[in-house]
């Protein structure tokens, strides 16, 4: 039976990214296929995020061996059934300096897990599998195809590999789940926009709409890390992408404008901090679940406990009020959505929302801007006249409103974002996550 959902995960592994990857690979083959993991800079530099992905598969190989030797079965169905491509992408934002979150995730992105468990970390021979640069000479003794049971390394840049997968598969069969900065996604969209728009859905963890940010008072980390990339990607949801594209600074843009006429709009489903933050994995719950697994010798439990303990300790120091630590499951929530998206408990905002990305503000860069004024949009009325009946959104004559600066009251202008506002349960997810990860 073919999987209900086939996905590309674009990620910058730190802690919750790794939990999201584990959740995706723990799905059944009928639920999910991970076709590709696109690796980006983000929480830590690119070489560290890539190392964390390779280490994850190394640990899972050890875990499967341990489970077979102890008769505990193999819960990671998608891991066994499919072999995703792993490709590396951008090392930095399109137009900004590198921003990292190593203050939260640790210098390596996983709170020193590689030093704590060297027996669970792969040797550095994997580095030449992803690049032919002089600093990483090719090890002729390594066959990329057989290096790992569970993934296939690629030397093709991540955004080009995304486009290749989208081109080789029928339209609307591949979903991209973006849980890091949107740089790789923006590069793919710019290089071949029509091929990129073959994507079934782009699921994005990012932004803060009605709550405070987590990197500045109004911005969330992934968006702030590359606000220009986010603005460019969001613009593809608009009937007129040029209306929400980031302004060109100093007369030069790193990427070209999109074609004037596009065949369709991007379907973008957004998971901002508003919905992700309340979904927490609490320390006492995690410790109680992980302790017997550690004691029984699970490599995955030992590895995961190290970076989770480091994370909880960091949260404790940040809170400083003696309350129980909880890790918000930002990135894993998007994977839970992909696994259980048919559940009617997943609810979007009542209508598609015109959410725009601020790219120039001194204090508001990365902010998700939503028009909260109550204003009529004449173009939405049934009496609106069109000049091209075969294309009802082409030249809506009643779409212009006097005094409407920046087209906030226009139907043709502005983004159209599907924002998730409810899940199957804040209290349900932690147990679901742990049960899937550790069987």
What local confidence, expressed as pLDDT, does residue 283 receive?
96
Task: Read off the tokens for 217.
Answer: 């008072």
What local confidence, expressed as pLDDT, does residue 133 receive?
63
Closest CA to 214 of 49, 111, 109, 330: 330
Instruction: Read off the pLDDT of residues 237-268 as tens digits, 9 standing for 90 and up.
Output: 999 999 999 998 766 678 999 999 999 999 99
What local confidence, expressed as pLDDT, does residue 198 receive?
98
What local confidence, expressed as pLDDT, does residue 395 receive?
47
Closest CA to 193 of 157, 166, 231, 223: 166
Average pLDDT taken over every residue of the chain = 89
Instruction: Read off the pLDDT of residues 372-420 as tens digits, 9 standing for 90 and up.
Output: 988 877 777 644 434 344 455 554 455 778 888 888 998 889 999 999 9
What local confidence, expressed as pLDDT, does residue 323 receive?
84
What local confidence, expressed as pLDDT, does residue 384 receive?
47
What local confidence, expressed as pLDDT, does residue 386 receive?
46
Extract the runs of DSSP E, i.e. beta strands, from 253-312: 268-271, 280-282
Q: Which range is least confidently modeled, 130-139, 312-321, 377-386?
A: 377-386
What local confidence, expressed as pLDDT, does residue 175 receive?
98
Average pLDDT over residues 302-313: 95
Instruction: Read off the pLDDT of residues 272-292 as tens digits, 9 standing for 90 and up.
Output: 999 999 999 999 999 999 999
The C-alpha torsion from 305 through 437 and 130 to 105, rounded to 10°, is -40
Distance in Å from the first CA to the final CA of the chain:
22
Whether the pLDDT of residue 332 is over 90: the answer is yes
What local confidence, expressed as pLDDT, does residue 319 receive?
79
Q: How far apart are CA 208 and CA 367, in angstroms?
A: 7
pTM: 0.93
What b/e readout covers 116-146, taking b as 16+ CB neighbours within 10 angstroms?
bbeebbbeeebbbbbeeeeeeeeeeeeeeee
What local confidence, expressed as pLDDT, does residue 102 receive?
57
The C-alpha torsion from 130 through 136 and 142 to 145, rounded to 10°, is 10
- CA 305, 309, 312 angle in degrees (round to 5)? 140
Q: How many CA atoms lie within 13 A of 139 on its CB side?
A: 14
With contact defined as beta carbons under 8 Å apart, do 394 and 387 qualify? Answer: yes
What local confidence, expressed as pLDDT, does residue 136 receive?
53
Instruction: Read off the pLDDT of residues 211-236 as tens digits, 9 standing for 90 and up.
Output: 999 999 999 999 999 999 999 999 99
The torsion angles phi and psi of 152, rounded to 5 degrees, stand at: -115, 115
Contacts of 4 (CB under 8 A, 6+ apart): 30, 31, 32, 342
- Helix (H) / strand (E) element for 124: namely none
Instruction: Read off the pLDDT of residues 156-169 as tens digits, 9 standing for 90 and up.
Output: 999 999 999 999 99
What local confidence, expressed as pLDDT, does residue 56 receive?
97
Q: What is the DSSP string of 61-100?
A: HHHHHHHHHHT-----HHHHH---EEEE--SS-SSS----
What local confidence, expressed as pLDDT, does residue 388 receive?
41
């Amino acid at each position: 039976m073919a999987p209900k959902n086939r996905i590309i995960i674009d990620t910058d592994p730190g802690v919750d990214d790794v939990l999201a990857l584990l959740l995706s690979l723990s799905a059944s083959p009928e639920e999910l296929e991970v076709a590709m993991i696109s690796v980006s800079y983000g929480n830590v530099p690119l070489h560290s995020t890539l190392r964390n992905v390779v280490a994850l598969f190394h640990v899972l190989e050890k875990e499967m061996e341990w489970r077979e030797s102890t008769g505990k079965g193999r819960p990671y169905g998608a891991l066994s059934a499919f072999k995703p491509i792993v490709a590396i992408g951008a090392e930095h934002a399109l137009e900004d300096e590198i921003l990292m979150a190593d203050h939260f995730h640790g210098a390596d992105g996983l709170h020193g897990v590689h030093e704590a468990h060297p027996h669970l970390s792969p040797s550095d021979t994997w580095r030449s599998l992803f690049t032919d640069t002089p600093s990483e000479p090719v090890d002729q003794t390594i066959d990329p195809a057989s290096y790992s049971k569970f993934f296939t390394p690629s030397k093709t840049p991540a955004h080009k590999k995304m486009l290749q997968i989208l081109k080789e598969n029928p339209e609307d069969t591949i979903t991209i789940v973006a849980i890091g900065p949107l740089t790789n996604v923006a590069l793919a969209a710019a290089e071949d926009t029509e091929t990129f728009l073959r994507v079934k859905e782009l699921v994005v963890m990012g932004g803060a709409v009605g709550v405070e940010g987590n990197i500045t008072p109004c911005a969330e980390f992934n968006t702030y890390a590359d606000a220009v990339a986010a603005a460019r990607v969001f613009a593809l949801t608009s009937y007129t992408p040029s209306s929400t594209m980031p302004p060109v600074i100093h007369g030069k843009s790193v990427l070209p404008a999109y074609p004037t006429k596009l065949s369709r709009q991007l379907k973008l489903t957004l998971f901002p901090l508003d919905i992700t933050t309340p979904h927490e994995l609490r320390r006492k719950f995690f410790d109680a679940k992980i302790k017997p697994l550690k004691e029984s010798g699970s490599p995955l439990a030992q590895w995961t406990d190290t970076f989770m303990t480091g994370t909880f300790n960091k949260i404790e120091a940040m809170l400083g009020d003696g309350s129980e630590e909880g890790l918000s499951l930002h990135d894993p929530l998007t994977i839970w959505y992909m696994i259980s998206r048919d559940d009617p408990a997943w609810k979007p905002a009542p209508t598609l929302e015109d959410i725009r990305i601020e790219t120039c503000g001194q204090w508001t860069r990365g902010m998700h801007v939503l028009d909260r004024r109550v204003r009529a949009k004449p173009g939405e009325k049934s009496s609106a006249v069109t000049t091209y009946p075969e294309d009802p959104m082409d030249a809506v004559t009643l779409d212009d409103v006097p005094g409407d600066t920046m087209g906030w009251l226009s139907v043709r202008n502005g983004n159209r974002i599907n924002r998730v506002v409810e899940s199957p349960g804040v209290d349900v997810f932690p147990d679901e996550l742990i049960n899937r990860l550790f069987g």
